[in-house]
Amino acid sequence: MKTDTKAEVILMKCPETKRIYGVRVEERQGDWFRTWAFPIEERKASHEGFDKTKIRGNLYPADEYNGCPYCKSVCYVQCSRCGKLSCWNSEERISCAWCGLTGDVSRIEDEIDVRGGDY
């Protein structure tokens, strides 16, 4: 039986380790769900085109989502400067794992616009 599941891989970065990881996201009824995270090297991510992936919409963890492969966090933040995603362990003040912007965490919007990784 064929399914029409739309799935992509987006990149996130762990602030604790400064390492990137891939996150498989699946579209379900107009929303995106994070279903699986896995470590990946920047070179391989670029070769696979994961740094070019674009998604827009609400981004939720699926029940089976395993979280960051390094720190195990299932939460994320989106940087207001570079727009990239990093895992988040509930600290009030953080630095973006991608560009280094430091600031206080404000309300996380459910709807996001993610464009690739750019290392």
Whole-structure pTM value:
0.86
Q: Please name the amino acid found at residue 48.
A: E
User: Which residues make beta-bridge pairs with 28?
Assistant: 31
Asked if the structure places residue 1 within a domain, the reply is no
Asked if the structure places residue 36 within a domain, the reply is yes
According to the model, what pLDDT value does residue 61 have? 95
Q: How far apart are CA 109 and CA 61, in angstroms?
A: 14
pLDDT tens-digit profile of 61-90?
999 999 999 999 999 999 989 999 999 988
Under the banding of pLDDT at 50, 70 and 90, the label for residue 3 is: low
Total structural domains in the chain? 1
More confident residue, 89 or 106: 89
Q: Is the separation of the CB atoms in 118 and 86 below 8 Å?
A: no
According to the model, what pLDDT value does residue 119 have? 43
Paired tokens of 10: 């987006």
Q: Is the separation of the CB atoms in 11 and 20 below 8 Å?
A: yes
pLDDT tens-digit profile of 31-45?
999 999 999 999 999
3-class secondary structure, 44: helix
Asked if the structure places residue 47 within a domain, the reply is yes
According to the model, what pLDDT value does residue 91 have? 82
Q: Is the separation of the CB atoms in 112 and 97 below 8 Å?
A: no
More confident residue, 90 or 20: 20
Domain of 105 in residue numbering reads as 6-115
**For range 37-66, the mean pLDDT:** 94
Asked if the structure places residue 23 within a domain, the reply is yes
Which helix (DSSP H) or strand (DSSP E) does residue 46 occupy? Answer: helix 42-48
Asked if the structure places residue 37 within a domain, the reply is yes
